[in-house]
């Protein structure tokens, strides 16, 4: 009887260890969505009043991430993981004569330091990539578009709680930063470049608080 109890105990322990290893996995794919705040200079918008700009800063964001954790640990429970991120953001506002709908799309390779525990993991990551900026605005009901592409960088802090051997619930705080010195404008079927504008030049970015799911495989 003691042998069966001992064997059962060893089996439970082995399953627990395997579940823990599977929950970490070698790769992670995750998707998130949530609130986002536009930071810094507003680029080529249709109304520069403080109230309009403040409302325009509140938006939404979404992302998709991939990281390869591998098998090797460093400093005990930490893993160094290369990865890739895509993040999109949307910010919009309107008034009587015009409107703005800002869309940002960011893609970048990432490097992450991940602390892996039995039931959860914490991750600090960052990278440098490329960001597309589009303001699909209207002025007197006529379409107007402001666009540019810039180098950008990001830093992120995220946490995950393992739900099963393959799935986890996660939260992610991501700061994305870029700068503008020029942009292009298309209006009335004409297109021109704006260089070093008096307003709307300098740092701009996003701060996003996102929630989602991670898949381990």
Res 145: pLDDT: 94
pLDDT tens, 134-153?
999 999 989 999 999 999 99
Res 111: pLDDT: 98
Whether residue 61 has pLDDT greater than 70: yes
Res 190: pLDDT: 86
18 Cβ partners below 8 Å, 6+ apart? 165
Whether residue 53 has pLDDT greater than 50: yes
**Mean of pLDDT values over 6-21:** 40
Closest CA to 33 of 188, 214, 212: 212
Angle at 30 between CA 83 and CA 213, to 5 degrees: 155
Res 200: pLDDT: 65
Residue spans per domain, the chain: 2-216
Confidence class of residue 198 from pLDDT cuts 50, 70 and 90?
low
Any idea which residue has 């990865």 for tokens? Answer: 83
Is the CATH code 3.20.20.105 the one for domain 2-216?
A: no
pLDDT tens, 174-187?
999 999 888 899 98
Whether residue 10 has pLDDT greater than 70: no
**Mean of pLDDT values over 85-105:** 96
More confident residue, 90 or 1: 90
Distance CA 94, CA 74 (A): 51
Whether residue 71 has pLDDT greater than 60: yes
Task: Spell out where the chain has E strands.
Answer: 27-40, 58-68, 78-94, 98-116, 120-139, 142-162, 167-180, 182-187, 190-195, 202-216
Residue 141 phi, psi (nearest 5):
65, 10
How far CA 188 is from CA of 100, 143, 193, in Å, comes to: 16, 8, 14
Whether residue 34 has pLDDT greater than 90: yes
Whether residue 22 has pLDDT greater than 60: no
């Amino acid at each position: 009887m003691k042998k069966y109890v001992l064997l059962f105990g060893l089996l439970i322990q082995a399953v627990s260890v395997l579940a823990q290893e599977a929950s970490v996995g070698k790769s992670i794919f995750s998707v998130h969505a949530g609130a986002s705040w536009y930071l810094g200079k507003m680029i080529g918008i249709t109304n520069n009043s403080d109230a309009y700009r403040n409302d325009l800063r509140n938006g939404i964001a979404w992302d998709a991430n991939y990281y390869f954790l591998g098998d090797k640990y460093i400093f005990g429970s930490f893993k160094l993981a290369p990865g890739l991120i895509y993040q999109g953001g949307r910010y919009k506002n309107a008034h009587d004569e015009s409107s703005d709908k800002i869309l940002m799309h960011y893609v970048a390779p990432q490097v992450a330091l991940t602390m892996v525990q039995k039931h959860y993991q914490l991750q600090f990551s960052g990278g440098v990539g490329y960001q597309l900026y589009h303001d699909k605005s209207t002025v007197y009901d006529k379409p107007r578009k402001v666009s540019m592409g810039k180098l950008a960088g990001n830093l992120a802090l995220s946490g995950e709680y393992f739900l099963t051997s393959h799935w986890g619930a996660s939260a992610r705080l991501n700061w994305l930063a870029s700068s503008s010195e020029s942009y292009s404008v298309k209006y009335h079927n004409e297109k021109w470049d704006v260089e070093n504008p008096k307003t709307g030049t300098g740092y701009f970015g996003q701060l996003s608080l996102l929630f989602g799911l991670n898949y381990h495989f």
